[in-house]
């Protein structure tokens, strides 16, 4: 039987970001080989960095038009933009029920919820997101609310919130490394300073490979022992893992 194929879509036009995804995927495959073939794709044009809803919509249109004749070559799709990206819904509408589609935002939340304790009284009840520009503080919070089917996000709920670096996705790899490190650490510390966060979600595909900085910030803010109980969750890793699991549970209907 032919192996299933997953396409990881970078919906912005920055090829270096896809190169980082390729490196991550290769490293993961060496540690624990995938059951599916993982392919990557970069948008041929459009915004080099997705910084708001307008960028997201433009990138979705570019990708959908460019991939239109190639979609059926794959069994599942991962949209590698940490947002409520319209491409996820567009692909689902076009391809369901024969193919599976998710985004790294949706996969990240789903996985984070499975890492939280069930008892409300337990320490470390919440998950939070470290992201890029300040636009995403409200945009991602609203996305979490809709994804969880809530009328409002209460401070006593399972979502801590979003802390941002002020950098764009592309600047994570083009700005001076010390500036990136400082701003990533500051955002992480602000997110966890109340000591009620168990999962820190990396809220941008451009944060691939930056989990070491987040770990350093956790140790400085919480101390080594307490930091060891906090999970750092990469949405690309979560997305590939989720799709592989879905392909096993629901291989796809005959088409």
CA atoms of 41 and 153, how far apart (whole Å)? 35
Q: Which CATH architecture has domain 106-235?
A: 3-Layer(aba) Sandwich (3.40)
Q: What is the distance, to the nearest Å, from the Cα of residue 33 to the centroid of all Cα atoms in its chain?
A: 21
Per-residue confidence (pLDDT) for residue 17, from 0 to 100: 92
Whether the Cβ atoms of residue 83 and residue 139 lie closer than 8 Å to each other: yes
Per-residue confidence (pLDDT) for residue 252, from 0 to 100: 67
Per-residue confidence (pLDDT) for residue 255, from 0 to 100: 52
Domains 5-103+236-249 and 106-235 share a fold: yes
Per-residue confidence (pLDDT) for residue 157, from 0 to 100: 79
pLDDT digit string (tens) for 113-152? 999 987 655 566 899 999 999 999 999 999 999 998 887 7
Other beta carbons less than 10 A from residue 124's beta carbon: 18
Angle 86-95/53-67 helices, nearest 10 degrees?
Answer: 30
- CATH code: domain 5-103+236-249 is 3.40.50.12500
Q: Count Cα neighbours of 28 within 13 Å in the Cβ-side half-sphere.
A: 20
Question: In which residue ranges of the chain is pLDDT below 70?
Answer: 1, 119-124, 153-156, 252-255
pTM, to two decimals: 0.94
Q: CB neighbours of 255 closer than 8 A, spacing ≥ 6?
A: 72, 98
Per-residue confidence (pLDDT) for residue 152, from 0 to 100: 74
User: Could you give the 3-state DSSP secondary structure of residue 160?
Assistant: strand
Per-residue confidence (pLDDT) for residue 232, from 0 to 100: 98
pLDDT digit string (tens) for 197-218? 999 999 999 998 899 999 999 9
Per-residue confidence (pLDDT) for residue 29, from 0 to 100: 95
- What DSSP designation does 157 have? S
CA atoms of 212 and 220, how far apart (whole Å)? 13
Domain ranges of the chain: 5-103+236-249, 106-235
Per-residue confidence (pLDDT) for residue 154, from 0 to 100: 63
Per-residue confidence (pLDDT) for residue 123, from 0 to 100: 60
């Amino acid at each position: 039987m032919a192996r299933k194929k997953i396409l990881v879509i970078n919906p912005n036009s920055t090829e270096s970001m896809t190169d980082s995804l390729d490196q991550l995927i290769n490293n993961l495959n060496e540690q624990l080989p995938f059951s599916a073939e993982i392919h990557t794709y970069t948008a041929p044009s459009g915004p080099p960095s997705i910084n708001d809803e307008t960028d997201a919509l433009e990138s979705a249109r570019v990708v959908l038009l460019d991939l239109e004749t190639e979609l059926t070559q794959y069994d599942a799709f991962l949209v590698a933009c940490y947002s409520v990206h319209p491409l996820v819904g567009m692909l689902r509408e076009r391809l369901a029920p024969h193919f599976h589609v998710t985004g790294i935002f949706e996969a990240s939340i789903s996985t984070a919820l499975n890492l939280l304790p069930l008892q409300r009284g337990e320490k470390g009840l919440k998950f939070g997101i470290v992201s890029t520009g300040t636009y995403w503080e409200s945009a991602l919070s609203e996305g979490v609310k809709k994804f969880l089917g809530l009328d409002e996000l209460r401070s006593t709920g399972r979502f801590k919130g979003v802390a941002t670096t002020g950098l764009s996705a592309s600047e994570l790899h083009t700005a001076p490394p010390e500036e990136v490190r400082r701003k990533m650490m500051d955002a992480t510390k602000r997110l966890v300073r109340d000591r009620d966060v168990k999962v820190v979600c990396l809220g941008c595909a451009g944060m691939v490979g930056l989990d070491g900085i987040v770990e350093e910030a956790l140790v400085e803010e919480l101390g080594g022992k307490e930091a060891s109980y906090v999970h750092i969750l990469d949405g690309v890793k979560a997305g590939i893992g989720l799709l592989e699991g879905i392909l096993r549970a629901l291989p796809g209907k005959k088409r």
